[in-house]
Structure 1
């Protein structure tokens, strides 16, 4: 089913492209960069985001083949418009050395197992906890926001070698994390993905 794009969204992307040339990015990278910029009205994401097109191609295929999508908070889930998500924050508690967000990641991993797409837009501790698990993710969208631990957790994600979308700075948040996942959801399947 094709997605109907509202005229306001069309005009927003037209203006974005008039102000920033994204044509040099590979297709899925371009889709993520543009949708994240669109969600935040922040052109700096074009140079702040870090991702690999090959990782995105594999994650796109996994997503469209039904891989689970796990989010750290309900705000991220609310922004993902065309897919059910798993969020275990309501079931989580906190304890010595473990935040509620980190506990929620453990609970979600117990539920979905390996191969999920993880979308973390709020809590650096959720991302840090995910990196301790043997989650074998299809992709980690690690875009937590904050002055304490956010940039460091994203740096650790990049150092982990896991397939990821992250950014270098402290900015991020639920809206941009959801936007990155939506970019993959909205991007059409190529003929090679449809036959594999």
Structure 2
């Protein structure tokens, strides 16, 4: 997988972020993801409430390097992932009918539909719908990583707590904060970091 080049404005933005908050004590991938999410939202609260595991991130990095599919719950998440193709099952034409048949939301029905197509080892990215994250926990087969960062006051905190309790390799946070930009930012962090930085040499 070719790593995308970082624009000079982004380099300066990261320099300013690091000047305001030192995250150098974090392991390499955890630091990269945390910084990218903080950068995506311009919100330092994420540095205090993200939950992730370095070994899980390393497994996801390896999976992406090997071409693992990325499945997102919304077009907005997909649009934010800047360097590779992302599958958005919500765009499938049969989703509305399936949601009605299964008695669930379109976001949840889309995840259920995608699970059979993606198979094991996919990276699932939820930045919008808590019901999509709940469906990932039920239907996704052996995911390489679940980025669970839905935003909102109804179901977001609960779905993220369920993700952490599931034992799946995951990135989540503990509050109502979230959204498409930060979910995409998490994936971009893994796509941008190269092997030398993954193994401990920071940018």
| TM-score of the alignment, normalized to the shorter chain, above 0.5 | yes
Hey, what does 1:21 align to over in structure 2?
22
Give the corresponding residue for 1:55. Answer: 56
Q: How many residues align?
A: 193
Q: Name the residue aligned to 2:35.
A: 34
* d(CA) in 2 for partners of 1:123, 1:191: 32
**Residue 104 of structure 1: how far off its partner (Å):** 0.4
**SS of 2:124's equivalent?**
strand
Secondary structure of the corresponding residue to residue 195 of structure 2: coil
Deviation at 1:71, TM superposition (A): 0.3
Task: Give me the whole-angstrom Cα distance separating, in 2, the residues matched to 1:151 and 1:191.
Answer: 32
The gaps in structure 2 that reach 5 residues or longer are none
Gapped regions of structure 1 (runs ≥ 5)? none
TM-score in terms of structure 2 length: 0.91
Determine the C-alpha separation between the residues in 2 that align with 1:52 and 1:129: 22
Task: Give matches, 1:77-96, under 5 Å.
Answer: 77-91=78-92, 92-93=95-96, 94-95=99-100
Instruction: Kindly report structure 1 stretches of 4+ aligned residues shifted beyond 6 Å.
Output: none
* Alignment partner of 1:151 is 2:157: yes
CA distance in 2, matches of 1:166, 1:97: 27
CA deviations 1:58-102 (Å, max 9, x no partner) are 110011111110000000000001111111102211226310000
1:169 to 158, 175, 180: 175
The Cα shift of 1:121 comes to 0.3
* TM superposition shift of 1:5: 2.1
Q: Is the 8 A contact 2:72 2:86 kept in 1?
A: yes
Q: 8 Å contact 2:52–2:170 — kept in the other structure?
A: yes
Deviations 1:18-66 (A, max 9, x none): 1001100000000000000000000110011000000001110011111
